[in-house]
Chains A and B, each alone.
Chain A
Amino acid sequence: MTRMPGPLRFAAVRHGLVVIVLAAAVAGYTQIAGSFADFQLAQIAIYVMAIAGLTVLTGLNGQVSLGHGALMAIGGYSAALVMQHDPNGHLPLAVVLVIATAATAVAGGIIGVAAARLRGPYLAGATLALAVGIPQLAVARQFAHTLGGEQGLTVRSPQAPSFLGSSFSLEHWLSWICAAGALVVLFLLSNLVTSRYGRTFRAVRDDEIAAALAGIHVARTQVLAFVVSAASAGLGGALLGVVTSLVAPAGFTLVLSIALLTGIVLGGLGSIVGAVWGSILVVYVPQWSTDLAHSLSFSTVMGSYFAVAFYGLVLIVVMLVFPSGLQGGIVRLWGMAASRVRRG
């Protein structure tokens, strides 16, 4: 690797620059796109947080979680409960989000302690139980009163600050908030990955015995990965509540957990940039499939079948063409192009 000049030597500076460029691109994009694009952008941003968090856990640390939708639920419900205890809205949204994130991080720590004793299929099974079980707590008789049962809890929408002008819509503001959250998560996680913690995560994933013999506390590393990953998912879940102004069990089904897992595999296991590709695919491809079904003027029933089948087809094709995920594929194509240029 060649040495980069000046401040670019520091990974954190490079990550910061990328984040600034992305922020500018997002701001520009929302200026020209309509309100539906705003909603989609918010959705992608929410997935980016959860999928990037899952990438750290599964891709970098080797712990499979089929239950990240449940962690998003914890984040969403935490935000809703905090807002309920603050009916006049004194707390700024940022504070609510920080509390929700912290609450999910704590939950992640508890799950992580249990997970550190489980391996492979056992861990997958345990987290699967979380994905199914935790959202159902809201329906359980003991909690239905506090957590709102099937109907769920309402979440207050924030108001766009007045200095942005009266024509600045709420959707616009929400998409900006989500994008900002996603960029903060991406920045922090990218730095984590290139730090010594990132290296210990990978060492523990590849060889627990060697890691322990190198003086790394294996269980503590695994719990830390779970905490970081849960915090990211919790922020995403809280913002999902804010964007849809509702948290309900139906919003955090097993399908969500599976979609997150699909995202990390499609994007490229273990790559934070891949998490962004994965999120875009997981949000857009089902949308495109539905649009395509519409344009082919299928009946409603046929259309919905077609959409699902088309989504599956895209996933299969992507995995066949890019077995190491989109990011892996891009890196490989880039390498091939670069070596061709060098050879002339």
Chain B
Amino acid sequence: MCRAAIRMRLCLEWQDMNTPSRHQWRPRLVPAEEPEPDLAGLLAQVARGDHRAFELVYRQLAGPVYGVIRNVLRDPAQSEEVAQEVLLEVWRAASRFDPDRGSAAAWALTIAHRRAVDRVRAEDACGRRERKAAPGMTPECADAAAAVEASLDRERVRRCLDSLTGLQRESIKLAYCRGYSYPQVAQLLGVALGTVKTRIRDGLIRMRDCLEVDW
């Protein structure tokens, strides 16, 4: 019942965001909750061998890391195995994270996504995996309305996805959420290779600007 109410409030806040006071939305969204400790700072502590800091890092990253991997791999057991590897890699390689080169979340999720994709490609190469997706099918990764509690961040991502053209959106979803290579995406969508490459790039640029990503 309250889902609709929340959504309505999100819509209202979304409109607010287009006014000059848009920076005010974040605190209103996460009202009295304890603020999450800064990941980049925690990673610096982890790099010095701080296990407690790693616990906090785990709590922030486990959900997105597992989600990204699960979306690509589908198989829960395999996803769990790869997610464990990735999170342990975050512990092992924390000293290699450089905050000047991007956010801590992007760093970890880049490792996660690449690991998952590498696993899929290796299996594809061995012919062990039969993966078929109908063009136009909607991977839940990019519109998981059912699974997750309302969050303005997610709502915003969804809205930004909605602002893309159909082909841009489908290409990005198939590549990111399903781990397909761009030639596979081209085949699935029945379009030229060059078209997919440009659609993915244009779509991501539009997403980046829509989300006001700092980079």
- The answer to whether A binds B is no
